[in-house]
Amino acid sequence: MMQTEKVLHLKSSRGGKVRVVREHYVREQVECGSWLCEAGCVSDGKLLSGDVTHYVVPDAGVVRDFLEVLEFRELQGIVFTQTACQAAHHARGRRHYNRLRALLKDPRHDCILFANEFQQYSYCPREKGETQEKWHTRCVYHAAVWYYNHLAGLRPVVMITEDEDAIKEYGSQNSGTFSNFLLEYLESFWPDLQAARELYASIAQALQERESEGAEKEYTEHLPAEVLEAGIKSGRYIQGTLSVNKHRAQHEAFVRFEGSSNKNTELNSDILISGGKHRNRAIHGDVVAVELLPHSEWKGRTTALTEGQGEERAGEDTQSQPMPTGRVVGIVQRNWRDYVVTFPPREELKSQSRNSQKILVIPWDYRIPKIRISTQQAEALQDHRVIVRVDSWDSTSLYPNGHTVRVLGKAGELEAEIQTILVENCIHVPPFSEAQLREMPVNSKEQPWQMGPAEVSSRRDLRDTHLVFSIDPLGCEDVDDTLSVCTLPGGKRLELGVHIADVTHFVKEGSLTDLEARSRATTYYLADRRYDMLPAVLSADLCSLLGGVDRYAMSVLWELDVETLALCNVWYGRTLIRSSYQLHYELAQSLLNGEEVEVPELSQLKSSDKSQKLAELLQALETLTRVARLLRAQRDKVGALELEGVEVRAQLDKDKNIAALVPKQPLEVHETVAECMIYANHWVARKIQESFPHQALLRHHPPPRQEFFNQLIDSAKSRGFMIDTRSNKALAESLDWAVDPQDALVNKLLRMMATQAMSNALYFSTGACPEEQYYHYGLALDRYTHFTSPIRRYADIIVHRLLMAAIQSEKDEYLHKTLASNKELDELAQHINNKNRAAQHAQKQSTELFQCLYFRDKDPLMDERCVADAIIYAIRANGMLVFLPRYGMKGAVYLKNRDSQVISVGDDGKCKWQVGTLQRYPDRISTFTAIGTHTFHLFDHVTVRISVEPSRCHADSMHLELISNKPHRAARAESHPAGHGQSELVQEVVRREEKASLQAEEQKARRPKLSREEREFRQSKTPNLYSLLQEISELALLDLSVYTNDSCQRSLLKC
């Protein structure tokens, strides 16, 4: 048998002081995980690279407290010892440990785990009377020595510790193995890594502060985990996710309980947590355990609109029905992330910082409490946006403790604000690393990319047989879908084809690009830029199905009957295509309408050829339209919903609310293309679900809860429409009926409300859901997935792989790679869902940001553009919510101000503030003043004035003021086509920002130039380390004497 030796471990587990004896086996062969190893260690995992000057071994204390510093990718050759990892696990809990594990698994980080305690010669038993810390440090040091000897002294090994005694003791015990403080280590080995040192300083200070803390209790203690678990099981406590009301962050929070584990049937709503004491240190997003309060203490939720931010009156006046109210007794799972905060200005600083350097900073997100950090840079950082991490929140402290991580920039600057939005949504998009780009195929002028002969022979060649074309928005770079349609020989059958870019050919599973794409999960579209999921060489070139070049594709081909269009046959597979035409929507529509337009691909040809080709193309387009109409009709019959605009149907995950509502010119060809894509998605979903019943990635849209439709039904009733929400078919039909002939916007708003009432469509793994839940409510399809946009969605890449595996397994059974298991796939689906949600939020927030920037410099009283028409879509206790069609904005209008004055309307329609009262009805709101009574109904048009309410710590917000109860009819509004409002707005802000940066360029050295380059590469000007170092090195090359260290400092601060 194997050579094992037994060593005894003494352990006393808590609660009863039991002596537990555990076995411990050690062995000689423990893989070291280094590339340099000559001893023949077998290792299948990742290896430490050999091209580093030394290896570094952090001790237990460093891993426990300073893991974040070690997370810098620039630090290479880190050997985590098992001792340190387990000590960290023990001291900081599972979350910390999982983070460490993720780090170890990530192939982009050069670090490995060495199981030192299982190595016969590096293991050292604890001596009598030795403290645990000392023992850990000794273990780690022994491991470091062993590691050095194991590699035959090829690389020196440095142990980093925060323990002074250890350095004294081990400092010069062995040659080749050194020990050092973390800070000294960073300074001497990584002098360029300023950010790491700053992070170190901030963590160290936070630690110090925590030690010297008082002991007044502000909150009740949390219950221990065992008690919570038992309580949740018995139904005494309720487990759920805490979500804080954004508008009354200090007073109201709700707990949404999960699953059906709850036996309390009387609870069918969320649980209200009122006030900070009851919330008991839980932060938005945490999973908490809640105990219900007695019925007598239940409260209602507030229905009034809050005026402005910051002033939250705990007014008892306007509360709804009492609802279940509870208090947090314990926290099951902390879900802290990085928060963006703003440092207070100097005046506030002075009053705050009488004692020590503790500063209360205000998070950007309203829902997060103020965070106490200790730093010496407060002066320099005032009015900056800074990333902060929360360390702890003791019951003795009113606010959580945290430390600073990175500075984003000055509040109010476009870049800083965009970065803020990204961080707040947990979106991490560094530029693609060199290692990733090295994986990419090359396609340059000198070295054009060519198809491999093996690929050519194994794929079905459609280049000469099929007329393939793409229809996309104008100026689109990443063409991931093309179409073809033709009549098969014999004339009885029609062949419809959808050809999708074959991304999986270039992105191999497990490659660095794949991992990066997986962690991004989607391409992020912000108002003025986008962050690609795949490097540009793929997304805009090799994968993109551009016109006139040979490309790989994944195709779905249907054979349809010419007359009835009934389905006869489906074929899936890899193909070669050459797109003949790269059309855009407007062009395609004009062709269909029979207008005389120039097709760019045909402009070179002679007129005879040209007309023939044009006829061919036209024929194809017309057939396509006919097919799409029929497909659409089929789906309509079973209840597909038309929810405001193409976006909602085709890509529910993107800009659902605002952009979709901008009245754009809906072309039939939009629908045609979307319909073909839905068809392809549907058939691929069927295929992979059949082949892999337990591990296919599909997308479902759960039916909405009926009570969410109440607002829609009530609103519609006020205009005399009946909305039937019992099924998707009934809803679709009744929405079609609810059209006001005078006002097309009414129908739009109703559809918008219907959309809001629905839950989001989600990805899932088929093994994780019963079959009846596969249904897609919005599209009325029993199976659906995403297949058609692999360039910008990671889910499509997975589906492509699944489809390929399905095809392969049909051909030959044994050629079957192991697929992701149901569990893994389900986790991945959750991850993609989360990222999609984040992308959606980021996009919405960036749009709002641009709106605010647009209106910021306009004088609301003078500028005509600040006055706009608005339509009322909801009534609240002290005001109403309105929608501004011109800017695609939603907002609140107050009818009552702080001095309890209300709006009164004069004879000419002008509004004034007057003393009076307010009366609210379900479908209208009335003001009573000395002048008279005025009533605002739902769906009335009013005129509002837009101004920006600046906010230092949070995002600026829009303020709407009622100026007239008549619809606004500006002379210009007609002439300038609505719908461009949004993009025009973005352009103007970008223009202005660029102008400002140009001016800055004249004053300061070369910075903006770099950023322009970056914009060219479609990457952000993230103040990342790479660009910083790059910049510094460039500066150094230019003139050493001029650009001294000083300028580096300045540019560092600037970021």
Q: Which is nearer to another protein, 115 or 762 (CB)?
A: 115
Taken in order 207, 357, 343, 277, the sign of the CA dihedral is positive
Tell me how far CA of residue 364 lies from CA of 141, 279, 357, 407, 417, in angstroms: 43, 20, 21, 14, 10
Cβ 950 to another protein, closest distance in Å?
47
Residue owning tokens 């099929």: 466
Backbone angles phi, psi at 328, to 5 degrees: -80, 125
Is 110 an interacting residue with respect to another protein (CB under 8 A)?
no
Q: Which is nearer to another protein, 42 or 215 (CB)?
A: 42
**CA dihedral defined by 502, 506, 509, 514, rounded to 10 degrees?**
-100
| Residue found by looking up tokens 């001095």 in the block | 899
Q: Does 42 bind another protein (CB under 8 A)?
A: no
Q: Which is nearer to another protein, 767 or 909 (CB)?
A: 767
Among 10, 38, 39, 45, binds another protein (CB under 8 A): 45
Minimum distance, C-beta of residue 21 to another protein, in the bound complex (Å): 6
Beta bridge partners of 382: 343
Q: Name which of 25 and 1017 has its Cβ closer to another protein.
A: 25
Closer Cβ to another protein, 105 or 346, answer by number: 105
For position 27 contacting another protein by CB under 8 A, the verdict is: yes
Nearest CA among 397, 546, 458, 502 for reference residue 801: 502
Q: How far is the CB of 330 from another protein (least distance, A)?
A: 13
Stretch that binds another protein, among 19-27, 52-60, 208-216, 733-741 (CB under 8 A): 19-27
Among positions 54, 96, 99, 101, the unique one binding another protein when judged by CB under 8 A? 101
Question: CA–CA separation, 760 vs 778, rounded Å?
Answer: 10
- Cα(22)–Cα(11) distance, integer angstroms: 8
- Residue from the set 106, 169, 218, 229 that interacts with another protein by CB under 8 A: 229
Q: Which residues of 959-979 are buried (b: 16+ CB within 10 A; e: fewer)?
A: bbbbbbbeebeeeebeeeeeb
Interface with another protein (CB under 8 A), residue from 10, 38, 50, 94: 94
- Residue 835: Cβ within 10 Å count: 24
Least separation in angstroms between CB 24 and another protein: 6
Cβ atoms of residues 765 and 696 within 8 Å:
yes
Q: Does 861 bind another protein (CB under 8 A)?
A: no
Distances in whole angstroms, Cα of residue 936 to Cα of each of 879, 882, 967: 10, 12, 12
Q: Which stretch binds another protein (CB under 8 A): 12-20, 53-61, 468-476, 641-649?
A: 12-20
Residues 168-207, mask of contacts with another protein (x by CB under 8 A): ----------------------------------------
**What does the block give as tokens for 112?**
């490995």
- Residue from 10, 152, 225, 426 touching another protein (CB under 8 A): that is 225
* Residue 2 binding another protein, by CB under 8 A: yes
Helix (H, G, I), strand (E, B) or coil at 232: helix
Query: Sign of dihedral through CA atoms 326, 329, 334, 337?
Result: positive
Which positions from 111 through 140 interact with another protein, judged by CB under 8 A?
113, 115, 117-118
Question: Mask of contacts with another protein, 971-1010, x by CB under 8 A?
Answer: ----------------------------------------
Element containing residue 230 per DSSP (H, E): helix 225-234
How far apart CA 400 and CA 85 sit, in angstroms, is 26
Chain residues 51-90 in contact with another protein, contact rule CB under 8 A? 82, 89
Which of the ranges 98-106, 618-626, 634-642, 940-948 carries the binding residues for another protein, by CB under 8 A? 98-106
User: Per rule CB under 8 A, is residue 96 in the interface with another protein?
Assistant: no
Provide the minimum distance between the beta carbon of 496 and another protein in the complex, in angstroms, as a whole number: 39
Return the residue of 15, 16, 594, 770 that touches another protein, per CB under 8 A: 16
Find the part of the chain contacting another protein (CB under 8 A) among 22-30, 486-494, 750-758, 845-853.
22-30
Amino acid at residue number 11: K
For residue 53, give both structure tokens: 């000057």
Q: How far is the CB of 145 from another protein (least distance, A)?
A: 20
**Total binding residues for another protein by CB under 8 A?**
30
Residue list 750-779, contact with another protein (CB under 8 A): none
DSSP labels for 183-212?
Answer: HHHHHHH-TT-HHHHHHHHHHHHHHHHHHT
User: Which of 19, 128, 445, 606 is in the footprint of another protein by CB under 8 A?
Assistant: 19
Q: 149-160: b or e for each residue (b if 16 or more CB lie within 10 Å)?
A: ebbeeebebbbb
* Cβ 27 to another protein shortest distance, Å: 7
Cβ neighbours of residue 297 closer than 8 Å, sequence gap 6 or more: 325
Pair of tokens at residue 974: 């007609």
Bridge-based pairing of strands 567-584 and 550-561 is antiparallel
Provide, rounded to whole angstroms, the least separation between the CB of residue 329 and another protein: 17
Binding mask 566-605 for another protein (x = CB under 8 A): ----------------------------------------
Indicate left, alpha or beta for 491 from its phi (over 0: left) and psi (-120 to 50: alpha).
Answer: left
Q: Given candidates 6, 14, 606, 972, which one binds another protein under the rule CB under 8 A?
A: 6
Q: Cβ of residue 466: shortest distance to another protein, in angstroms?
A: 43
Q: Does 105 interact with another protein (rule: CB under 8 A)? A: yes
Q: Which among 11-19, 68-76, 193-201, 1012-1020 is the span making contact with another protein, rule CB under 8 A?
A: 11-19
Contact partners, residue 829, CB within 8 Å, separation at least 6? 697, 762, 763, 764, 765, 768, 795
81 Cβ contact list (under 8 Å, min separation 6): 57, 59, 113, 114, 116, 139, 140, 143
Q: Is 22 an interacting residue with respect to another protein (CB under 8 A)?
A: yes
- Residues between 796 and 825 with contacts to another protein, criterion CB under 8 A: 821
* Dihedral sign of CA atoms 151, 156, 161, 167 in order: positive
Q: Closest CB to another protein among 115 and 661?
A: 115
What minimum distance in Å lies between the beta carbon of 322 and another protein? 34
Token code pair at residue 814: 């044994």
Is residue 826 within the footprint of another protein (CB under 8 A)? Answer: no
Q: Which two tokens stand for residue 500?
A: 């999708």
| Closest CB to another protein among residues 21, 474 | 21
Based on CB atoms, which residue is closest to another protein, 821 or 983? Answer: 821
Summarize the chain as % helix, strand, coil (round to 5). Answer: 40, 25, 40
CB-CB contact of 962 with 903 (8 Å): yes
Q: How far is the CB of 80 from another protein (least distance, A)?
A: 11
Whole-number Å distance between alpha carbons of 800 and 553: 11
Question: CB 439 → another protein: shortest distance, Å?
Answer: 25
- Whole-number minimum distance, CB 104 to another protein, in Å? 7
- What single DSSP character describes residue 771? G
Determine, following the binding rule CB under 8 A, whether residue 287 of this chain makes contact with another protein. no
- Of the two residues 123 and 894, which places its CB atom closer to another protein in the complex? 123
**Residue in 26, 144, 779, 872 binding another protein, rule: CB under 8 A:** 26
- SS3 of 400, please? coil
- Which residue among 41, 52, 91, 104 contacts another protein (CB under 8 A)? 104
Nearer to another protein, 229 or 642 (CB): 229
Place of tokens 């689906």: 829
Phi first, then psi: what are they for 177, rounded to 5°? -120, 120
Q: How far apart are CA 405 and CA 1001, in angstroms?
A: 28
Binding footprint of another protein on the chain (CB under 8 A):
1-2, 4, 6, 16, 18-27, 31, 45, 82, 89, 94, 101, 104-105, 113, 115, 117-118, 225, 229, 821
